[in-house]
Amino acid sequence: MEINRNYIQVLMKKSRMGLICFSFLVCLQLYGQTDRVCFDIDNVEGVIFLKGGDVGLSGLALKRSLTNVQEVLKIDSLVKLFIDSQSVEKGLVQQGFDGCPVISKAWKDYYRQVIKYEDEESGHQIIWIQYVHKSQVDINPNWKENWVIVFGGCSYYWRVKYDIDSQRFFSFVIN
């Protein structure tokens, strides 16, 4: 089945229902046809990696779970609230110096790389979002195809995991 891109664009512009329909249509095509879904909605652009083996430096082949754009955007908005609370309460490090962006002020300037997986120990569903600053795309031109691995880079690169079942954040790291 081939999705008519113009039809999807019209749906997306008309309403949130378009987002739900788009997610449903994408899910219909996922099994065996693609390993990722790219999205760009309300200046939030990213990629959801649906299949594959090793991610990052963990060396673990994660048991992937199916997610959709709507779920990712919901978690992304929770991450924004989390970042805002961390900025006020704890004063986030690794940002705002030597030209490094302040995350809460540069929120729309990040691409998202997303993986949903099942934690082997707890069985909980985890959303892992990695944020790559848009100014770094020339260094990472294949960010939509490959998980970006960076050593250093201050707040141009950061990531967080969210446990959907316990509704808590963990593994928050700013390079």
Tens of pLDDT along 16-39?
Answer: 445 444 444 444 444 344 688 999
| Residue 155 token pair | 């707040």
Same domain, 11 and 82: no
Q: Look at phi and psi of residue 137 and say left if phi exceeds 0, alpha if psi is from -120 to 50, else beta.
A: alpha
174 vs 25: CA distance, rounded Å: 35
**For residue 161, what are the domain limits?**
34-174
Specify the length of the chain in residues: 175
The pLDDT mean for the chain works out to 79
Query: Do 90 and 130 reside in the same domain of the chain?
Result: yes
Tell me the per-residue pLDDT of 42-59, one tens digit each, with 9 for 90 and over: 989 999 988 754 455 454
Q: What is the mean pLDDT of residues 76-103?
A: 82
Yes or no: say if 44 and 108 are a contact pair by the CB < 8 Å rule: yes
- Please determine, for residue 134, whether its predicted confidence score (pLDDT) is greater than 80: yes
CA nearest neighbour of 127 among 135, 139, 119, 137 = 119
- Cβ-count burial of 18 within 10 angstroms (0-12 exposed, 13-18 middle, 19+ buried)? middle
Residue 136 sits in the same domain as residue 65: yes
Based on the domain organization, do 100 and 122 belong to the same domain? yes
Answer yes or no: do 73 and 16 share one domain: no
What CA–CA distance (Å, rounded) separates 31 from 82?
33
Same domain, 26 and 58: no
Residue 157 gets which letter from DSSP? Answer: E
DSSP β-ladder status, 125-133 and 110-118: antiparallel
pLDDT at 21: 43
Report the domain count for the chain: 2
Pairing between strand 110-118 and 63-64? antiparallel
